[in-house]
């Protein structure tokens, strides 16, 4: 058992023959020079029927990944349903090389690039030969354990933009009475269950997000953590991981916008 982590008492851990005191003494070492500029917030995305996360010979394959699951693009954890707290929102315009020309990320724009046109047949926004995708980015805290959360970016494009708009509308309408005053509630006062549902039209089917409100947060520590993330988003201090083709495996011409 020398290569395993062993719990020796209520709070003491040992790894092989490394005792807990030695681990505590060296806590955080090796990461002293890592700042917020050196890390990224992972994204959440949906696994579609043709996603590479389901193909065993693909380098992006995730064991246990099934169509309709949500996955973390950094840790590769997969979920059927997770709890999220909305902390911030940003609209971006992501420029992609079209899939039939090799695909790939070009640039993330804060506003729609000048010169963007709309293809009358496909309704796609194009900048020269590249596609511009309207992208809603919801910065959230994802529940990972009892009173434990980690930040992520919930990216919504294509048919999920209607889900995003509905969520934003719901949150903007929230009002609470505080000390005799009716005020607009902070978005991070509320918790939501995030899952997916199947959608279809006459050209095919795919999965899109489903959000259900499950209550209000009750922990002061969680509120403070959410407030910090919200402030960082507002101040432009957070750095999300690179966007991925979240609708991989779903041809855009088959997905209603």
pLDDT (tens digit, 9 = 90+) per residue, 218-232?
A: 999 999 999 999 999
pLDDT in tens, 64-89: 889 999 999 999 999 999 999 999 99
Torsion angle of C-alpha atoms 66, 252, 88, 81, degrees rounded to 10: -20
pLDDT in tens, 192-221: 999 999 998 877 889 999 999 999 999 999
| Token pair of 203 as six digits | 């050209």
The C-alpha atoms of residue 12 and residue 19 are separated, in whole angstroms, by 8
Of 40-54, 55-69, 152-166, 232-246, which one has max mean pLDDT? 152-166
Residue 37: the pLDDT is 64
CA–chain centroid gap for 22, Å, is 36
- Provide the pLDDT confidence category of residue 256 given band limits of 50, 70 and 90: very low
Beta strand 43-46 pairing with 148-156? parallel
37 φ/ψ angles, rounded to the nearest 5 degrees: -75, -15
R_g (Cα) of the chain, nearest Å: 21
């Amino acid at each position: 058992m020398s290569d395993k982590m062993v719990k020796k008492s209520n709070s003491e851990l040992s790894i092989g023959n490394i005792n807990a005191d030695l681990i505590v003494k060296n806590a955080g070492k090796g990461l002293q020079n890592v700042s917020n500029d050196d890390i990224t917030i992972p994204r959440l995305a949906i696994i579609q029927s043709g996603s590479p996360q389901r193909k065993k010979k693909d380098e992006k394959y995730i064991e246990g990944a099934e169509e309709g699951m949500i996955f973390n693009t950094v840790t590769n954890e997969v979920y059927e349903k997770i709890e999220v707290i909305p902390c911030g929102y940003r609209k971006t315009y992501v420029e992609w090389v079209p899939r039939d020309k090799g695909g790939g990320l070009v640039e993330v724009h804060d506003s729609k690039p000048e010169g963007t046109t709309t293809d009358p047949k496909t309704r796609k926004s194009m900048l020269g030969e590249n596609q511009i995708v309207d992208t809603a980015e919801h910065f959230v805290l994802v529940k990972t354990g009892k009173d434990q959360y980690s930040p992520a970016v919930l990216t919504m494009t294509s048919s999920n933009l209607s889900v995003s708009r509905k969520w934003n509308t719901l949150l903007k309408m929230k009002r609470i009475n505080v000390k005799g005053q009716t005020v607009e509630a902070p978005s991070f006062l509320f918790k939501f269950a995030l899952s997916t549902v199947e959608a279809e039209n006459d050209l095919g089917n795919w999965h899109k997000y489903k959000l259900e409100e499950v209550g209000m947060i009750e922990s002061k520590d969680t509120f403070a953590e959410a407030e910090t993330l919200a402030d960082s988003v507002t101040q432009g201090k957070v750095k999300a991981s690179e966007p991925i083709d979240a609708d991989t495996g779903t041809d855009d011409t088959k997905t209603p916008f």
